[in-house]
Structure 1
Amino acid sequence: MVFIHGIGAPRQVEQERSAWTSALAEGALAAGHSRFASDLKSGAAETVFVHYGDLFSVPGAQGTADDLTEDEGRLLAEFMTDIIDEQLEDAEGDDARVLRNARAELVPNGPEQGLLQPVGRSINAATTLLSIPGLSRAGQWLSAKLLVRDFAQVARYLARAEPDAAGHPLDDRIRGRLHFALANSPQVLVAHSLGSVVAWETLHESGVEVPLFMTLGSPLGMRSVVWPSLRPQPPSTPPGVARWLNFWDRDDIIVARRRLERDVKPNADGNQPVSARVDSDGFWVHTATKYLRQAQVAGPIAEAALPDGPG
């Protein structure tokens, strides 16, 4: 099994892999797959955690949204507008009022000068967003600047910029990490958040066969920024994917257009994503471990990882 993470600060790989496998084992037990859960706990089930968070760290930069290019700053503001518009579809009362205020803060007031304008607008809107209790619980963000820093990673990936000394842009280097992990043809690929965009594009490039592709808390369906920036177009199921399950939480603010099967074309074998909702309690529902603890998420992973019999 291959895991690939989403937005956020750089991870400690082994610590993160352990957290994901522990959560998956918990979900597998709830789904009745005790053998698979035991294999996860003992290390008998082979898991690889693909980490790319370090690639967002630029030497000499502050690691904040202030380091964005002009195009990245614009994409960031558009990405946040997408999120707010999605939330407004179901919001009522005070929450709807706050969301409308946040959206208004993202609209330029007259001619803009320089990058700090869209970044500043994004931080102001994020501050307003985090005043909504439900949204502040949905992610791991303790401040508006941290939220914007993480959201900016989506913009930086989709900008297809920031080349290294060899001329390879940031998005290409990120996908390179996953290409390496896919070389052993895993049974399962689990992709969370921005990782689902990385995984989808990588699978199209590689054509590797994956029996189960699972996306958790995916922004693939965001229409203004993510969707039109995907490569290749029009979006379709990667050719080697035999089964694609897409899970979303009702309180996950990263998810938009949750039913991906309505918009993703099938591959040559007729396979399309199948989306399902999960309901996590408590704080930080966007985290991958919240999803993996769900029986309906862990069950299909166990079945794909142990195809020879009950788990």
Structure 2
Amino acid sequence: MGQQVQGEDRLRAVWWPALSDGLRRAGAAGLVTASDVAMGFYGDLFRPAGQMLSAGDMPYTVQDVEEGFERELLAAWWRAAAEVDAGVVPPEAVDTLVSTPRSVQAALRALSGSRFFANVALRAMVSDLKQVRGYLMDDRVRERVRGRVAAGIGADTRVVVAHSLGSVVAYEALCALPGHGVRALVTIGSPLGIRHLVFDRLRPAPDEAGRQARGQWPGGDGLVWTNLAGTGDVVALVKDLRPLFGERLRSGVLENGMHAHDATAYLTDALCGRAIADGLA
């Protein structure tokens, strides 16, 4: 999310060196070359037609945060930020439900002062909320975004690395590609574990037959899924996805410092490099 003014080549130019460094940390330097890596990009689908704003975002204000999903996700981010940053006033001190424009403003103000959302403009935060809602609640957007990613998963694709909202897209794309040859799914900074807002809205829908809802496994028995979450990553607020997707999922927690949600901070870590290398072994 928030990549609507980027592009395939530009993001790939940022991701590739970080991914290569992660492989080096894992003792697998040279295993992958730049020509082996492709970027599944869909940010332009969230870019408003005809807009030439400097940040690529609509000039959103507090009033544009809609009731329901957007305010609930904002509240979840606020609670998570308060848990990891002592400088953030918890929502309970203002209005837990974030149900009014005044409390929405308080949430946005609190988040803008947090380490996680430092230097993120208000309109950019609102834009991110709307992108997540757009994917999960607008069938047309979901079909176009997921189709863009699925088109990049070919017969020779062995590893899929997916960040943030992209992890939801990649998970659903793989579930919709029976018989694919992907050996490793590596999700980083993923919101997949947020029950009511994200997990319960997945397609295919989680299995509710047992006592614990369980998400479909996104491949065959040979697929290894590794999920990595930063300790201070507010978007990946549920760190361990095993209760929702099964014990065979490999779960790890990283310390990304001030860049808790940054994709490159995940990619340079040895755990991420090893997960990628394992899929190519």
TM-score (norm 2): 0.83
Correspondence for 1:236:
216
Contact 2:19–2:268 (CA<8 Å) still a contact in 1?
Answer: yes
Contact 2:75–2:107 (CA<8 Å) still a contact in 1?
Answer: no
Correspondence for 1:127:
109
Correspondence for 1:268:
none
Contact 1:78–1:224 (CA<8 Å) still a contact in 2?
Answer: no
Q: Quick one: structure 1 residues 20 and 94, their matched pair in 2 at CA, closer, same or farther if it must change by over 3 Å? A: closer
Which residue among 56, 59, 63 is the counterpart of 2:46?
A: 56
Unaligned runs of 5+ in 1: 1-5, 109-116, 162-168, 266-270
Does 1:251 pair with 2:232?
A: yes
Q: How does 1:221-232 map to 2 (within 5 A)?
A: 221-232=193-204
Q: Identity of paired residues, percent?
A: 26
Task: Tell me the CA shift for residue 206 of structure 1.
Answer: 1.2
Task: Tell me the CA shift for residue 180 of structure 1.
Answer: 0.8
Contact 2:193–2:239 (CA<8 Å) still a contact in 1?
Answer: yes
Contact 1:51–1:177 (CA<8 Å) still a contact in 2?
Answer: yes
Task: Tell me the CA shift for residue 59 of structure 1.
Answer: 2.1
Higher helix share: 1
Task: Tell me the CA shift for residue 76 of structure 1.
Answer: 1.2
Q: Quick one: structure 1 residues 60 and 15, their matched pair in 2 at CA, closer, same or farther if it must change by over 3 Å? A: closer
Q: Quick one: structure 1 residues 71 and 264, their matched pair in 2 at CA, closer, same or farther if it must change by over 3 Å? A: farther
User: Aligned-pair RMSD on alpha carbons?
Assistant: 2.7
> What count of residue pairs does the alignment treat as equivalent?
265
Task: Tell me the CA shift for residue 124 of structure 1.
Answer: 4.3
Task: Tell me the CA shift for residue 193 of structure 1.
Answer: 0.2
The separation in 1 between residues aligned to 2:59 and 2:97, in whole angstroms, is 17
Q: How does 1:135-284 map to 2 (within 5 A)?
A: 135-137=116-118, 141-161=119-139, 169-207=140-178, 208-234=180-206, 235-240=215-220, 242-265=223-246, 272-281=248-257, 283-284=258-259
Task: Tell me the CA shift for residue 217 of structure 1.
Answer: 0.2
Q: Which amino acid in structure 1 is aligned with residue 18 of structure 2? A: A
Q: Quick one: structure 1 residues 172 and 73, their matched pair in 2 at CA, closer, same or farther if it must change by over 3 Å? A: farther
Contact 1:76–1:122 (CA<8 Å) still a contact in 2?
Answer: no
Task: Tell me the CA shift for residue 285 of structure 1.
Answer: 2.3
Does 1:27 pair with 2:32?
A: no
Q: Quick one: structure 1 residues 272 and 148, their matched pair in 2 at CA, closer, same or farther if it must change by over 3 Å? A: farther
Contact 1:130–1:136 (CA<8 Å) still a contact in 2?
Answer: yes
Q: How does 1:56-135 map to 2 (within 5 A)?
A: 56-59=46-49, 63-64=57-58, 66=60, 74-88=68-82, 90=83, 94-95=87-88, 97-101=89-93, 103-104=95-96, 106-108=98-100, 122-132=104-114, 134-135=115-116
Contact 1:221–1:258 (CA<8 Å) still a contact in 2?
Answer: yes
Unaligned runs of 5+ in 2: 207-214
Please state whether the residue corresponding to 2:36 is helix, strand or coil: coil
TM-score (norm 1): 0.76
Per-residue deviation, residues 113-145 of structure 1 (Å, max 9, x unmatched):
xxxx5xx8545422222223x3335xxx53222
Per-residue deviation, residues 268-310 of structure 1 (Å, max 9, x unmatched):
xxx73211001123x33211111001111112212322x2xxx
Q: Quick one: structure 1 residues 300 and 91, their matched pair in 2 at CA, closer, same or farther if it must change by over 3 Å? A: closer
Task: Tell me the CA shift for residue 257 of structure 1.
Answer: 1.9
Contact 1:127–1:143 (CA<8 Å) still a contact in 2?
Answer: no
The separation in 2 between residues aligned to 1:229 and 1:77, in whole angstroms, is 16
Correspondence for 2:273:
298
The separation in 2 between residues aligned to 1:71 and 1:146, in whole angstroms, is 12
Per-residue deviation, residues 55-87 of structure 1 (Å, max 9, x unmatched):
0123256843759xx996531111112223344
Contact 1:237–1:272 (CA<8 Å) still a contact in 2?
Answer: no
Task: Tell me the CA shift for residue 182 of structure 1.
Answer: 1.1
Contact 2:188–2:229 (CA<8 Å) still a contact in 1?
Answer: yes
The separation in 1 between residues aligned to 2:69 and 2:59, in whole angstroms, is 12
